[in-house]
C-alpha cells in the first residue's frame, strides 16, 4: 500500500509515529501460493547515489511476527536488515550507486496472522547524504508532568486472549472502567499472557519456524536480550534487540504468548511511576511469580515480579528521555492473570528506581568455578618392549599415567554455572540462595541436584589423588630404569626414556593443578551444605541452598527480593 503524502489526513502509524508518505508491506502464504514476499520498485534513471529512509512495525496490524527487509539496487542486494515487531523505528542510509531500479522487499510470513511493516520518509541524494527537514511529524505538547495515557494510547498493545476488547480505557468516559475490588479505574490498560492451540506449523509456519532464534523456552527475548542471565529474559541495562520470536510454539501446536504495551514518549521524560495490580486471575489466585520488564529505548530499565495474590504496587522507573516505553509481561509458565496498569505518570524530573519489596525480583549473579587445566602438550605413545624389566615397568607406568590424566581431564571440568540470588530477610539482613545450572540442558530452567554434583566431584578427586600417588611412585622407579640403560640399551632405548622423564614431569605439574582446582570446587560445594540455612519459612533443598554471605561478599544492589517471596526449586 502506497501513501503519497498528498493529504495530512491519510496516514499510517509506524512505531507510534504518524506518516503520510511511505509504503506498507503485508503479504502471507495461502494453501495455493507459498510466495510471502511483497515489494515496491522505483525507476530512478541512474541519477542518485544514496537513499535514506525509516523502517518499522505497523502497530495496528495485530500480529507480532518478525520479518526481513531487503533493498536492491538494480539486481545487487545493498541492505538486508531484520524487522522486529517490538523494536523502535530505525533509520537507514544506503548507497545505491546510481542504479536505475530501486527495490524494497520484505520476506513476509507463512503464518496465519501476519505483521505489517513500513518504509517511510524516503529521500534520494546526489552525492553524499545531508541533514534535511523534508518530513516533520506531529507530536503532542509535553508538559513537565503528564499522565502517560493522556500523551497517547499504546501503539502496540498485544493481549492475545482478549483480542483488543476491553483492554484499554483512556478516561474519556465514566461508562468504561476496570473494576478493581470495587474501585473504578477509568484510565489504564491490561496485560495477560496465554497459551493456545496454533496452526502455525509446517508449511504455514514461516521461514525458520515460529521458534527460530528464541531465548530459552519462553521466547522472552523477542524484545529483551539478556547480557548473560536470562531469568525473566534480561538484566537491568541489557540491550533490547529483537532476535527471537514473539511467541514460542511447542510440539503439539501450543503457542506460548507474551503480552506487551508500547508507548511513544517522544524523548521528553525521564521518570515513569505506575501502579500495577491483578484484576482477574484465570482460576484460583496463586503466588506464582510472573516477570514484568520495563523497557526504555532498547534498554531494560526495570525487572520485577507480579503475581495474582499481591496487593496493588506502585513502582518508579528512570527512563532517561526514551522515545519508546515498553511494558512486557513474559510468559514464563502458562496463562497468567489479567494485570491492570494505572496511575501512569511521566515527569521530566529524574528520580531513582524504586521497587516495593513484595515485587522485587533478585536477578542471579552468574559465576563459574576457576578451571584452567589443560592436557599435557608433550606427545607420548606406548613404546615397544625393551626386554629390560625396570625400564619396561617405568615406560608402561608413564603410559598409564599419561592416558589416565587425559581421561580425567576430559571429564573433570565443571559443566555448570553457579547462580547466586542475593535476598533480604524479614529482619533486614542479607543472605543468598545458590543454584547450579547445567551447560548440557538448554531446554529447561530447572537447576541441578547439588548433592549429585558434590558426589561426582568427590569421586573425581579420589581418582586425581590416586593418579598423583602413581606419579610419585614412578619418580622412584625412574632411578631403577636409568640403571637398565647401561651399555647398548642406552643407545637403543635412551630416547624413549628421556621423553618419558619429560612427560612424567609435565604430567606431575598438570595433575597438581588439576588437584588444586578440583579440590577448590569440592570445598565450595561442601561449604554450601555446611552453611545451609532454613530462614523465613523457606528451607534449603538439594537444588537450592540458602547460605549467609561470605566475609567481604556484597550484593550488586540494595533492591533485593525478600526471602519469603523467593521461589525455591
Q: Which of 4-8, 239-243, 298-302, 365-369 has the highest mean pLDDT?
A: 365-369
* Confidence check: pLDDT of 197 > 70: no
Backbone angles phi, psi at 420, to 5 degrees: -110, 120
Strand pairing partners for 345? Answer: 147, 273
> Region 478-499: what's the mean pLDDT?
67
Listed residue (263, 297, 286) closest to 335, CA to CA: 286
Residue 222 has pLDDT above 50, yes or no: no
Q: What is the pLDDT of residue 62?
A: 67
Taking only the tens place, the pLDDT of each residue in 311-351 is 999 999 999 999 999 999 887 767 788 999 999 999 999 99
Write out the DSSP string of 319-340: -TT-SEEEEEEE-SSSPPPEEE
Q: What is the per-residue pLDDT for 491?
A: 52
pLDDT at 481 over 60: yes
Contact 411, 551 (CB under 8 A): no
Closest CA to 246 of 85, 111, 37: 85
Q: Is the dihedral of CA 265, 267, 268, 273 positive or negative?
A: positive
Nearest of 407, 442, 383, 420 to residue 560 by alpha carbon: 420
> Mean of the pLDDT values across residues 88-95?
94
- Maximum mean pLDDT: which of 370-374, 423-427, 492-496: 423-427
pLDDT for the residue 517: 95
**What pLDDT, on a 0 to 100 scale, did the predictor assign at position 478?**
83
CA distance 480 to 486: 11
pLDDT at 414 over 70: yes
Segment 436-445 long-range contacts (CB within 8 Å, at least 24 positions apart): 439/415, 440/415, 442/216, 443/217, 444/217, 445/216, 445/217, 445/231
Computed over every residue of the chain, the mean pLDDT equals: 82
**Which whole number is the average pLDDT over 93-103?**
95
Question: Hey, what's the torsion of the CAs at 171, 176, 179, 185, to 10 degrees?
Answer: 0
Residue 388 confidence (pLDDT): 72
Residue 489 has pLDDT above 80, yes or no: no
Residue 455 clears pLDDT 50, i.e. is over it: yes
| Lowest model confidence (mean pLDDT) among 250-254, 307-311, 452-456 | 250-254
Reduced DSSP (H G I as helix, E B as strand, rest coil) percent helix, strand, coil of the chain, to 5: 20, 35, 45
Most confident region among 36-45, 65-74, 254-263 by mean pLDDT = 65-74
Is the alpha carbon torsion for 400, 405, 406, 410 positive or negative?
positive
Taking a C-beta distance cutoff of 8 angstroms, is the pair 280, 162 a contact? no
**What band does 286 get if pLDDT is binned at 50, 70 and 90?**
confident
Rounded to whole angstroms, how far apart are CA atoms 354 and 205? 42
pLDDT at residue 36, rounded to an integer: 59
Tell me the average pLDDT across 376-391. 79
Of 247-256, 267-276, 310-319, the range with the lowest mean pLDDT is 247-256
The yes-or-no verdict on residue 387 having pLDDT over 70 is no
Question: What is the 8-class DSSP label of residue 166?
Answer: T
| Other Cβ atoms closer than 10 A to 565 | 21
**Residue that wins the pLDDT comparison between 98 and 249:** 98
Among the ranges given (139-153, 261-275, 383-397, 552-566), the one the predictor scored with the smallest mean pLDDT: 383-397
pLDDT over threshold 90, residue 175 = yes
pLDDT-derived band at 466 (thresholds 50, 70, 90) equals very high
The more confident residue out of 61 and 316 is 316
pLDDT at position 392 is 79
* Placement of cell 480505557 in the chain: 169
Of these ranges, 19-23, 316-320, 558-562, the one predicted with the greatest mean pLDDT is 316-320
β partners of residue 18 = 13
- CA dist 396 and 497 (Å) reads 11
Predicted confidence (pLDDT) at residue 98 exceeds the cutoff of 60:
yes
| Amino acid 250: pLDDT | 39
pLDDT of residue 132: 85
Q: What confidence score (pLDDT) does residue 112 get?
A: 52
* pLDDT tier at 194, thresholds 50, 70, 90: confident
At residue 506 the predicted structure's pLDDT band, cuts being 50, 70 and 90, is very high
How far is C-alpha 13 from the geometric centre of its chain's CA atoms?
29
Q: What is the pLDDT of residues 534-543, one digit of tens each?
A: 999 999 999 9
Amino acid at each position: 500500500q502506497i501513501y503519497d503524502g498528498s493529504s495530512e489526513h491519510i496516514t499510517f502509524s509506524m512505531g507510534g509515529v504518524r506518516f503520510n508518505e511511505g509504503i506498507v508491506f503485508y503479504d502471507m502464504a495461502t494453501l495455493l501460493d507459498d510466495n510471502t514476499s511483497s515489494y515496491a520498485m522505483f525507476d530512478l534513471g541512474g541519477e542518485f547515489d544514496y537513499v535514506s529512509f525509516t523502517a518499522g512495525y505497523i502497530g495496528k496490524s495485530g500480529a507480532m511476527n518478525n520479518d526481513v527487509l531487503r533493498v536492491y539496487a538494480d539486481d545487487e542486494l545493498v541492505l538486508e536488515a531484520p524487522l522486529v515487531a517490538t523494536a523502535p523505528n530505525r533509520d537507514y542510509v544506503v548507497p545505491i550507486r546510481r542504479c536505475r531500479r530501486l527495490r524494497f522487499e520484505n520476506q513476509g510470513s507463512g503464518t496465519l496472522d501476519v505483521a505489517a511493516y513500513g518504509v517511510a520518509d524516503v529521500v534520494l541524494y546526489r552525492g553524499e547524504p545531508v541533514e534535511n527537514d523534508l518530513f516533520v511529524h506531529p507530536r503532542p505538547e509535553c508538559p513537565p508532568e503528564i499522565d502517560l495515557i493522556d500523551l497517547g494510547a499504546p501503539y502496540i498493545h498485544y493481549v492475545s486472549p482478549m483480542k483488543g476488547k476491553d483492554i484499554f480505557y483512556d478516561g474519556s468516559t465514566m461508562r468504561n472502567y476496570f473494576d478493581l475490588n470495587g474501585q473504578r479505574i477509568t484510565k489504564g490498560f491490561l496485560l495477560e499472557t496465554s497459551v493456545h492451540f496454533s496452526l502455525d506449523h509446517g508449511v504455514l509456519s514461516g521461514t525458520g519456524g515460529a521458534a527460530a532464534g528464541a531465548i530459552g523456552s519462553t521466547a522472552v527475548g523477542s524484545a529483551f536480550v539478556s547480557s548473560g542471565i536470562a531469568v525473566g529474559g534480561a538484566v537491568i541495562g541489557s540491550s533490547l534487540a529483537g532476535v527471537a520470536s514473539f511467541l514460542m510454539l511447542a510440539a503439539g501446536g501450543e503457542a506460548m504468548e507474551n503480552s506487551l504495551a508500547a508507548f511513544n514518549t517522544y524523548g521528553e521524560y525521564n521518570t515513569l511511576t505506575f501502579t500495577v495490580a491483578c484484576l482477574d486471575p484465570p482460576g484460583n489466585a496463586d503466588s506464582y511469580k510472573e516477570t514484568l520488564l520495563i523497557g526504555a529505548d532498547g534498554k531494560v530499565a526495570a525487572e520485577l515480579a507480579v503475581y495474582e495474590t499481591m496487593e496493588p504496587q506502585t513502582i518508579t522507573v528512570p527512563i532517561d528521555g526514551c522515545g519508546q516505553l515498553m511494558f512486557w509481561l513474559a510468559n514464563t509458565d502458562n496463562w497468567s492473570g489479567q494485570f491492570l496498569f494505572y496511575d501512569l505518570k511521566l515527569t521530566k524530573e529524574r528520580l531513582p528506581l524504586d521497587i516495593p519489596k513484595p515485587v522485587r525480583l533478585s536477578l542471579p549473579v552468574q559465576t563459574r568455578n576457576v578451571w584452567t587445566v589443560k592436557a599435557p602438550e608433550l606427545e607420548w605413545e606406548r613404546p615397544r618392549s625393551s626386554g629390560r624389566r625396570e625400564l619396561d615397568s617405568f615406560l608402561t607406568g608413564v603410559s598409564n599415567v599419561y592416558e589416565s590424566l587425559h581421561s580425567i581431564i576430559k571429564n573433570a571440568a565443571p559443566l555448570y554455572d553457579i547462580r547466586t540470588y542475593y535476598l533480604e530477610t524479614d529482619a533486614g539482613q542479607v543472605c543468598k540462595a545458590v543454584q547450579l545450572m547445567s551447560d548440557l540442558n538448554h531446554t529447561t530452567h530447572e537447576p541441578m541436584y547439588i548433592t549429585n554434583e558434590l558426589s561426582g566431584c568427590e569421586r573425581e578427586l579420589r581418582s586425581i589423588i590416586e593418579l598423583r600417588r602413581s606419579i610419585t611412585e614412578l619418580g622412584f622407579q625412574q632411578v631403577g630404569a636409568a640403571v637398565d640403560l647401561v651399555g647398548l640399551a642406552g643407545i637403543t632405548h635412551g630416547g624413549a626414556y628421556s621423553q618419558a622423564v619429560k612427560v612424567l614431569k609435565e604430567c606431575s605439574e598438570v595433575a597438581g593443578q588439576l588437584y588444586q582446582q578440583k579440590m577448590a570446587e569440592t570445598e565450595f560445594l561442601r561449604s554450601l551444605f555446611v552453611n545451609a540455612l532454613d530462614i523465613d519459612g523457606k528451607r534449603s533443598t538439594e537444588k537450592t541452598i540458602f547460605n549467609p554471605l561470605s566475609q567481604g561478599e556484597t550484593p550488586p544492589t540494595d533492591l533485593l527480593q525478600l526471602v519469603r517471596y523467593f521461589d525455591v526449586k
